[in-house]
């Protein structure tokens, strides 16, 4: 495995750490130096793993069981450890459990916990070459993106992958996990402290300029919708079908989609599009939720979906306001609601990922009146907090005052409101990844709301006329935190120059 190269690497990294802090010198890399199993030595299976250093049937069975907590599984793998010459625990585990080899496994059929265990063992088995382990860990995180344990180990492996190119990013990746309020703290604090103690050694290094950008786009809004679906979902029992021709009926669709872990697929009014049909097939969907009446999605579309064997639910009403209530009733109510205008898309789309993440329904209203359907909803639900998007020029006080416990989120224009809405929900967002979409038109952002909710990403609205100063300032404040940008739509929606400007702000700004 290139012993001379490893020894030389160890020597160089030790020198670097010693020059930074001559009192504290750790081992050679994020993967091998974060021995957090020490926080779990009171657990017998962890002690067994440390003593044996190799997977056997007992350890494999423990890791495979869905009844065992993910943090203890991580500690078991951590205790198995690493070796300069490499280990073979991942391959042995797969043989013991699946009677197969890793390269022949159907990874998509495995749970997030199972993929996590395999990928973490792979990283420890050959810690200088984590290029095969990292994609699997990303898949584990995709399947379970609320687990702190998975997120922090993912950051360790990502740090390992960039030890030869961008040491500053090693700490910022870790810090973004620590700051992510959407994660369930399913790891002992002592274990977290052990990881942080080592990873903070990289804090003094400058962050490099590498930001990963992923553009999801197609020939038109419907192709783009399908591409976003492909990126976000490998399988889903549900699909949400919405009109790609107008926005009102589907502004509240993101919380609905998140409830059912479903993508939002845009379709034309009169026929089921081939790209939508193929996504339904790929996802092996069983249920379709159609958002809007026959004026948005015709009976012909409904019939075509039904012939594919799906059960169909249509959520609609005589007006866009009634439809939003129909969707809200399906989403359910936790005491909070978001009120937005039914005549523009930007505010509703800005709030949609965070509303979806929190299970908050989005209700449409006109500027000056409260529709009967909305009044009935208020009468039938206990509302403890109402977030109104926009100032009185968007939604009047006459309307706002008819809702309980109102808090307004305002701004001079859609871009300032976009930033203010994101800031309002910032404690519920991971800023390691962000989405950017057109603030000039709705389709790509609408398709992306469910994707962004899935990944705890905000949608930042841009304009091809130039990045507004308030947006530039907000993006600059996330310098050193953001590592990936998901771009919704092609160059016609979000020009490359706008993406480059965003990357520049993230890589050339000093965070306060």
Give a yes or no: residue 207 inside a domain.
no
Considering the domain architecture, whether residues 143 and 20 belong to the same structural domain is answered as: yes
Domain boundary, last residue among 151, 179, 202: 202
Question: SS3 sequence, 479-494?
Answer: CCCCCEEEEECCCCCC
* E runs forming strands in 368-432: 385-389, 406-409
CA separation for the pair 450, 243 (Å, rounded): 15
CA separation for the pair 177, 185 (Å, rounded): 11
Give a yes or no: residue 148 inside a domain.
yes
- Token pair listed for 53: 């250093």
Q: pTM higher than 0.85 for the full model?
A: no
CA-nearest of 485, 487, 489 to 507 is: 485
Give a yes or no: residue 257 inside a domain.
yes
Considering the domain architecture, whether residues 198 and 254 belong to the same structural domain is answered as: no
Considering the domain architecture, whether residues 327 and 283 belong to the same structural domain is answered as: yes
Considering the domain architecture, whether residues 288 and 342 belong to the same structural domain is answered as: yes
Q: What is the DSSP letter of 459?
A: E
DSSP states of 321-336 = HHHHHHHHHHH--SSE
Domain boundary, last residue among 202, 227, 246: 202
Domain boundary, last residue among 171, 202, 233: 202
Provide Rg for the chain, Cα atoms.
Answer: 25
Q: How many domains does the chain have?
A: 2
Q: Which domain holds residue 429?
A: 212-507
- Token pair listed for 346: 């930007």
Q: List the chain pLDDT tens, one digit each, 512 residues.
A: 344 334 434 434 444 444 444 333 334 589 999 999 999 999 999 999 999 999 999 999 999 999 999 999 999 999 999 988 889 999 999 999 999 998 888 888 999 999 999 999 999 999 888 888 988 998 898 888 899 999 999 999 988 887 765 677 788 888 889 988 889 999 999 999 999 999 988 887 766 556 888 999 988 999 999 999 999 999 999 999 999 998 888 889 999 999 999 999 999 999 999 999 999 999 999 999 999 999 999 999 999 999 999 999 999 999 999 999 999 999 999 999 999 999 999 999 999 999 999 999 999 999 999 999 999 999 999 999 999 999 999 999 999 999 999 999 999 999 999 999 999 988 778 788 999 999 988 888 888 999 999 888 999 999 888 888 899 888 888 877 888 999 999 888 888 878 877 876 776 654 43
CA-nearest of 441, 413, 421 to 247 is: 441
Helix/strand/coil for 315: strand
- Residue 126, class by beta-carbon neighbours within 10 Å (0-12 exposed, 13-18 middle, 19+ buried)? buried
Residues found in the chain: 512
Considering the domain architecture, whether residues 148 and 271 belong to the same structural domain is answered as: no
CA separation for the pair 221, 444 (Å, rounded): 6
Considering the domain architecture, whether residues 308 and 385 belong to the same structural domain is answered as: yes
């Amino acid at each position: 495995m290139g012993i001379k190269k490893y020894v030389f690497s160890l020597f160089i990294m030790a020198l670097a750490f010693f020059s930074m802090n001559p009192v504290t010198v750790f081992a050679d890399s994020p993967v091998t130096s974060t021995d957090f199993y020490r926080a779990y030595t009171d657990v017998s299976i962890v002690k067994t793993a440390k003593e044996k250093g190799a997977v056997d049937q007992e350890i494999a069975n423990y890791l495979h069981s869905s009844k065992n907590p993910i943090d203890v599984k991580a500690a078991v793998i951590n205790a198995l450890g690493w070796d300069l010459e490499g280990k073979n625990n991942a391959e042995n585990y797969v043989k013991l459990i699946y009677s197969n080899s890793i390269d022949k496994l159907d990874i998509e059929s495995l749970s997030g916990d199972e993929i996590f265990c395999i990928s973490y063992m792979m990283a420890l088995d050959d810690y200088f070459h984590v290029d095969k382990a990292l994609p699997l860990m990303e898949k584990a995180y995709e399947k379970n993106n609320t687990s702190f344990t998975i997120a922090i180990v993912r950051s360790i492996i990502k740090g390992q992958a960039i030890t030869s190119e961008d040491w500053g990013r090693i700490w910022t990746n870790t810090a973004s996990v620590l700051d992510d309020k959407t994660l369930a703290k399913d790891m002992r604090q002592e274990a977290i402290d052990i990881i942080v103690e080592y990873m903070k050694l990289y804090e003094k290094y400058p962050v490099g300029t590498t930001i990963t950008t992923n553009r999801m786009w197609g020939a038109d809004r419907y192709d783009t919708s399908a591409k976003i679906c492909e990126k976000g979902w490998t399988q889903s029992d549900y699909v949400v079908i919405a009109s790609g021709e107008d926005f009102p009926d589907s502004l509240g669709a993101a919380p609905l989609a998140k409830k059912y872990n479903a993508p939002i697929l845009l379709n034309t009014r009169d026929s089921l599009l081939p790209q939508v049909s193929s996504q339904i097939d790929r996802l092996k969907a069983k249920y379709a939720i159609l958002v809007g009446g026959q004026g948005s999605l015709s009976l012909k579309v409904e019939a075509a979906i039904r012939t594919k064997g799906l059960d169909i639910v249509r959520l609609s009403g005589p007006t866009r306001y009634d439809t939003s209530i129909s969707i809200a009733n399906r989403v359910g109510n936790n005491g909070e609601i978001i009120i937005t205008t039914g005549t523009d898309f930007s505010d509703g789309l800005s709030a949609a990922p965070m509303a979806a993440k929190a299970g908050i329904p989005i209700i449409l209203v006109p500027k000056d009146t409260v529709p009967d359907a909305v009044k009935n909803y208020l009468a039938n639900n206990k509302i403890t907090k109402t977030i109104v998007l926009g100032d009185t020029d968007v939604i009047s006080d006459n309307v706002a005052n008819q809702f309980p416990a109102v808090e307004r989120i305002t701004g001079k224009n859609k871009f300032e409101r976009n930033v203010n809405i994101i800031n309002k929900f910032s404690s519920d967002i991971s800023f390691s990844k962000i989405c950017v979409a057109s603030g000039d038109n709705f389709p790509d952002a609408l398709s992306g709301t469910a994707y962004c909710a899935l990944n705890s990403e905000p949608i930042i609205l841009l304009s091809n006329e130039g990045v507004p100063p308030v947006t530039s300032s907000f993006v600059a404040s996330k310098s050193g935190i953001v590592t990936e940008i998901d771009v919704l739509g092609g160059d016609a929606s979000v020009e490359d120059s706008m993406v480059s400007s965003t990357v520049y702000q993230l890589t050339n700004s000093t965070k306060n």
